Structure 1
Amino acid sequence: MSTLVVVGFMAIALLGVPIAFAMGLSAIIAIWFAGIDLSIIPQRMMYSVNSFPLMAIPFFMLSGELMIKAGIIERLISFANALVGRVRGGLAHVTMLSGAGLATVSGTAVSDASALSAILVPSLSKIYDKGFATAIVAAAANLGPIIPPSAAMIVYAFMAGPSVSVGGMFMAGVVPGVLITIGFMGLCSWIATRRGWTTTGEAFKWGRLFSELKRSAIVLFMPLLIIGGIIGGAFTATEGSAVSVIYALILGFGITRTLKLSDLPGIILRAAITTAVVCALIAFASVITYLMTVDLMPQKLSALLFSITKDPIIYLLLVTVLLFIVGMFLESNSAYIMLVPLLHPIAIQYGIDPLHFGFLFVLNLVIGMLTPPVGVVLFVVCGVTGVRMRELVTNIWPFVAWMYAVLLLCLFFPAIVTTLPRAMGY
């Protein structure tokens, strides 16, 4: 039965229909063939989305939209420009730091890609060729789900169950996120030097840096407040997401004063649409997960894998290859919802640290957002800027290669991922 679900889902999805519809239809077909009462479908769907932790997703989505509209990107860009603007590839460095800063308040790659493309690509294109300019923005936007808070990590923790905490996942992403950002900036310098691009921006001045830091402090304080509150136990991730919405409203209406009441309907609608897509995927996937559980699919797969190898490193490498392929063809939220309940319990049986496996899983699928043919960040950037996909893909590969290098580094040296969350008590 579970084989029928997987084959049916992949076949329907390859026809080009929406992923949620493919999940639902494949589940209905499998249940019908198995002779199970169809009333199980709405029951499992309602049970899966009736969850307090899942409320963090719409709040963080809403908070990110509010912060972008509140003009935080302009402040982050000004601060980053004062810090690293006057070096070779300076504006590319500014973009990377802006993407990292935006990641600390948004938690998603798609919204970051849209905002950064609209604001930075016109300026980047005056200095660099447009293909490289859009690649810089796509890479910077992809930091969103890695640097906390991360909507992807919330979904993973929810699907993995009590063995993984949202706060632990957030902390697991800090050190690798910094490594990826530094590597991206190094690549920008190397490419700018190789192509002979000159320095840009104003000369470094301590006075200007402190002035921009003071101006941006209210923005930079938000991730410290939210993530610090979650880690310190002041509130849960869901409560922290609600606090972030209030903070964004105060910032937009009272500090930057760029947020208007007329902006709220559109902001709420965009956050609601994104949330509805994720929750629909979770609802339909819960039926498929139930069928796999009834059919003992995890146990069968576990027995198969143990018959092949008992080495946890080999298992991690097999999962990495699987997710590399899945990431090229399947939307990441669908992959979390379909594969986490299947692969996470097996990782625990291999004795792999749940946080270590969880972060590797998330990072692998985040990289998939930059790989064709179904790289959602690539499509967003191309849609906003009008650049051709071929031109973007030609320039994005060094950044994808570096992310895979960090992935392998984290795979063979788990302390990179686990030291900080363990020090924080996770």
Structure 2
Amino acid sequence: MTAGVLFGGLVAFLALGVPIAFALGVATLTAVLSAGVNPIVVTQKLVAGLDSFPLMAIPFFLLAAELMTSGALAEVLLRFASMFVGHKRGGLGYTNILTITFFSGISGSALADAAGPGALLIRMMRRSGYPPAYAAALTAAASIVGPIIPPSIVMILYALQDEGVSVLRLFVAGIVPGLMISAAMLGYNMWASRRRDFRSDGPAPTWGDALRAGWRAIPALMLPVLIVVGVHSGAFTPTEASVIAVFYALFCGMVVYRTLTWPMLPQLIARTAFMTAAILLIIAVSSAFAWMLTYTQTPQMLSAWIQGLGLSPIGFLLAVNVFLLAFGIFIEPLPGVLVVAPILAPMAAALNIDPTHFAIVVIVNLNLGMITPPVASLLAVTGMIANVRMADISREIYPMLALQLGVLALITFLPVLSTGLPDLMGAK
């Protein structure tokens, strides 16, 4: 009965358009009252949910991304990417995908990728004669690698929900799946460029231009390398890596690129504080929601039900894929991980599914929801930038989404795509 109130309340509030943090909080409080539990426990769980040292990495990674993305960084990465593919047929489409992939290793956010370099690239593609709906859809489809390629706040939060995985291992595990998604989009752009006769973006660059662009892009591209190598070597923890990332971003912005000034810092810090507050509010109420799930023994009952079905590990993964693809349409990846990981991770462990493999399947699934109509928050952002209707973008996104579902299937059936690189690097 209480579990029904909890889930029914959450679904009802989300259907009414209530923000996810408040929907989780009110649903939890309603279930607590219906169970006759002292409501003071909700306050206790809200505070306990934030009493975690690794959560300190969130504001610092957000601030590092703000520092790195202020100024001309997007243009630096765009120029670097265009040196490789800008002169080819459909060159701006390739440049779009590569720029956003490079940018993902800095921002860690799909929405930041779409609204930052994505906005610049959409405008460039429109001026070059690309259909606006195609430019918007391609940008959204490429942007979902933001939370998959490290650093990733979603991965940090998943590691807090499942003790079977570490932040470092998830960071490394996300590299191959993220690059596979980008490769699929590059392949689709090649096919679309030939079929629709998209033109090149000018002559091939000289070796001197390519070297200058590459040299200028190296400091920006080194940030994700610094994080992964530093944590893997034991030089610092993931939380300490977030602080080092801030100082590195300050150095790049003020000394290397000289696009960052001291008067800009208060605004960047304030923007980071607002984003951090929103994320931590979701984490706090998700903690109370997860406690209520445990109180009602929902994970145990679902686990027993799944085991009673006699599903094989592959059958379970297929069922999880179907569920998360539908679930991800209506909820963002960050709160989605906080809600489903405490329920699904123990079930996967009971079936001897590698926790790293399962975590990547969950994270990729939830990110695909951001480009799946009718909600599709990424499509809404890029559609606003390109000034096109959702219906027009939807027609363009479906073949791209189909390719990404193919990548998801490969990740699901071939665990080595998620676990191979962490095992090779010895990431524990």
Q: TM-score, normalized by length of structure 1?
A: 0.97
Cross-structure match for 2:222? 221
Partner of residue 72, structure 1: 73
- Deviation digits for residues 335-385 of structure 1 (CA, Å, limit 9, x no counterpart): 111111010111000100000000000000011111122222112222333
Q: How does 1:185-224 map to 2 (within 5 A)?
A: 185-224=186-225
Q: Does 1:95 align with 2:118?
A: no
The residue number in structure 2 matching 1:158 is 160
Structure 2 counterpart of 1:85, which letter?
G
Q: Which moved more, 1:358-367 or 1:135-144?
A: 135-144
Deviates more, 1:294-303 or 1:374-383: 374-383
Could you tell me how far apart the structure 2 residues matched to 1:52 and 1:294 are? 25
1:115 alignment partner AA: G
Matched residues in 2 for 1:202 and 1:229: separation?
A: 40
Q: In the alignment, what sits opposite 1:402?
A: 403
1:148-297 superposed matches below 5 A: 148-160=150-162, 162-297=163-298
**Distance across 2 between alignment mates of 1:213 and 1:28:** 54
How far does residue 261 in structure 1 lie from its aligned partner after superposition? 2.6
C-alpha distance in 2 between matches for 1:26 and 1:333: 18
State the 1:134 CA deviation: 1.2
Q: Does the CA-based 8 Å contact 2:91-2:199 persist in structure 1?
A: no
Q: Output aligned runs, 1:100-139, within 5 Å.
A: 100-127=101-128, 128-139=130-141
Question: Cα distance, 1:206 vs. partner?
Answer: 2.7
Output one character per residue of 1:18-40: Cα deviation in whole Å (capped at 9) or x when no partner. 11111111111111111111111
Contact 2:132 2:386 in 1 (8 A): no
User: 1:220: Cα distance to partner?
Assistant: 1.6
What is the alpha-carbon distance in structure 1 between the residues aligned to residue 391 and residue 273 of structure 2? 32
Question: Whole-Å Cα distance in 1 between the matches of residues 38 and 48 of structure 2?
Answer: 17
Looking at structure 2, the residues matched to 60 and 125 of structure 1 have their Cα atoms a distance apart, in angstroms, of 32
Counterpart code for 1:166: V
- Report the CA distance between 1:265 and its aligned residue: 2.6
In structure 2, C-alpha distance between the alignment counterparts of 1:89 and 1:325, rounded to whole Å = 33
Q: TM-score, normalized by length of structure 2?
A: 0.96
8 Å Cα contact 1:108-1:152 kept in structure 2? no
Residue pair 2:152, 2:171 contacting (<8 A) in 1 also? yes
Does residue 336 of the first structure (1) align with residue 346 of the second (2)? no
Contact 2:87 2:201 in 1 (8 A): yes
Task: Give the counterpart letter for 2:146 in structure 1.
Answer: G
Q: Name the counterpart of 1:141.
A: 143
Partner residue in 1 for 2:323: 322
CA distance in 2, matches of 1:132, 1:310: 40
1:364 paired to 2:356: no
Give the letter for the 1:68 counterpart.
Answer: T
Alpha-carbon distance in structure 1 between the residues aligned to 2:401 and 2:271 = 28
Deviation, structure 1 residue 316: 0.5
> Cα gap change, 1:7/1:421 in structure 2, threshold over 3 Å: closer, same or farther?
same
Report how far residue 333 of structure 1 moved: 1.7
Q: Residue 58 of structure 1 aligns with which residue?
A: 59
CA contact (8 A) 2:133 2:383 kept: no
Q: Summarize deviations over 1:78-131 as a string: whole Å, max 9, x none.
A: 111111111111111111110011001111111111102331111111221111
Q: Which runs of 4+ in 1 moved over 6 A?
A: none
- The residue type equivalent to 1:172 in the other structure is A
Instruction: Pick closer, same or farther for the CA change 1:310–1:135 going to 2, 3 Å.
Output: closer
Asked whether the 8 Å contact 1:84–1:204 carries over to 2, the reply is no
Q: Is the 8 A contact 1:363 1:407 kept in 2?
A: yes
Cα distance in structure 1, aligned partners of 2:367 and 2:121: 22
Q: Secondary structure at the match of 1:234?
A: coil
Give the aligned partner of residue 352 of structure 1: 353
Amino acid at match of 2:144: N
1:177-209 CA distances to partner (integer Å, 9 max, x unpaired)? Answer: 121111111111110110012222331433322
Residues 336-345 or 268-277, more deviating: 268-277
**CA deviation string 1:124-181 (max 9, x = no partner):** 1122111111112212222211111111111111122x21101111111111112111
In the other structure, the counterpart of 1:46 is: 47
Give SS of 1:20's match.
helix
Farther off after superposition, 353-362 or 2-11: 2-11
Paired residues in the alignment total 425
Change (3 A) 1:252 1:214: same
Give the 3 Å change call, closer, same or farther, for CA 419–293 of structure 1 in structure 2.
Answer: same
Paired position in structure 1 for 2:26: 25
Alpha-carbon contact 1:327-1:365 (below 8 Å) kept: yes
In structure 1, how many angstroms separate the alpha carbons of the residues matched to 2:420 and 2:141? 26
2:84 is matched with 83
Shift of 1:237: 1.0
Deviations 1:306-349 (A, max 9, x none): 11123011111111000011111122222111111010111000
In the alignment, the residues of structure 1 paired with residue 145 and residue 28 of structure 2 have an alpha-carbon distance, to the nearest angstrom, of 34
Q: Which runs of 5+ in 2 are unaligned?
A: none
Taking only aligned residues, the RMSD between alpha carbons, in angstroms, comes to 1.3
| Percent pairwise identity | 39
CA contact (8 A) 1:145 1:152 kept: yes
Amino acid paired to 2:372: T
Q: Which amino acid aligns with 1:35?
A: G
2:89 alignment partner, SS class:
coil
* CA–CA separation in structure 1 for the residues paired with 2:421 and 2:115: 31
In structure 1, what residue type is equivalent to 2:77? L
The question of whether the paired residues in 2 share the 8 Å contact of 1:65 and 1:111 is answered with no
SS at structure 1 position matched to 2:116? helix
